[in-house]
Copies of this chain bind each other. A is one copy, B any other.
Amino acid sequence: MRILLLNPNTTEAITQRLLAAAEAVAALGTEIVPVTAPRGVPYISGRAEAQIGGAIALEMLAEHHDKVDAAVIAAFGDPGLMAARELFDIPVVGMAEAAMLTACMLGRRFAIVTFARALGPWYQECVEMHGLTGRCAGIRMLDEGFSDIAEVQEEKEAVIVQLAQRAVVEDEADVVILAGAPLAGLAAKVAQRIPVPVVDQMGAALKQAEALVSLKPRKASAGTFRRPAPKGTLGLASALAARIEHR
């Protein structure tokens, strides 16, 4: 099976991190197709950037959806996820969603640990969007600058581990999620220093995408995720316009 790894950020180095984390757990026969956003911001870190990045994710899916069996939107706040699930026929998995649902099977409440304060409110709203507020023990954010988004996981590894340890002791988290695309792959490196299961967001998303492909769900032709009826568009990217117009 072919799974689209859609990075809605413009930073190619993050795509490479995500790809490595995905390949580390991929099943035999899974081909991962990475794409990096051709426009947008280097890394999404708030509501405005997620609004824009989610729209760009739809443009990217319009270009690629018919060549893959499923897609992962590989930014932690799941920009454009529900929109994508409505507009396209293939399963689409959000990286935050997959990490959180996976964490639910490993404990009662999960903590989200991330590398920048700006990400917290966006992640919080993502937790709420998925209806998982009651399963979330809290969001812990690093409150200091970093040098390079592509290397932030190496630079901040020690303090991120400390945040995770505090989440276990102070927030009574049963599971830890290391959140934010630039942290993809970090879980494996630090798991033994954190006394509860640590979920890698990209690993979880890849396995969930594989699971959905295996289960072969049909596209809804009723309910709130059926494809919208054709509608005219003005000034949209051409593949996206074609999808909306049913051309």
- A positions within 8 Å CB-CB of B: 10, 25, 27-29, 38-42, 45-52, 54-55, 58, 80, 82-87, 91, 93, 97-98, 101-102, 104-108, 118, 120-121, 125, 128-132, 134-135, 168-169, 172-175, 191-192, 195-200, 203-204, 207-208, 210-212, 214-215, 217-226, 228-229, 231-236, 240, 244
How far, in Å, is A177 (CB) from chain B's closest CB?
Answer: 12
A234 to B10, CA, bound (A): 8
User: Separation in Å of the A145 CB from the closest CB of chain B?
Assistant: 10
28 sampled A-B residue pairs with Cβ under 8 A? A27-B214, A39-B235, A40-B234, A40-B236, A41-B231, A45-B231, A48-B84, A49-B228, A49-B231, A49-B244, A52-B83, A98-B105, A101-B101, A102-B215, A105-B208, A106-B212, A107-B220, A108-B121, A108-B225, A131-B135, A172-B223, A172-B224, A173-B223, A195-B220, A196-B222, A196-B223, A197-B217, A207-B214
- Residue of B38, B220, B233 near A197 (CB, 8 A) is B220
Q: How far apart sit A45 and B169, CA to CA, in the bound complex (Å)?
A: 19
In angstroms, Cα B101 to Cα A235, docked, is 34
- Chain B contacts for A131, CB-based, 8 A: 131-132, 134-135
Question: Are B105 and A93 in contact (CB-based, < 8 A)?
Answer: yes
Decide: A91 near B105, CB < 8 A? Known: A50-B83, A52-B55, A86-B48.
Answer: yes
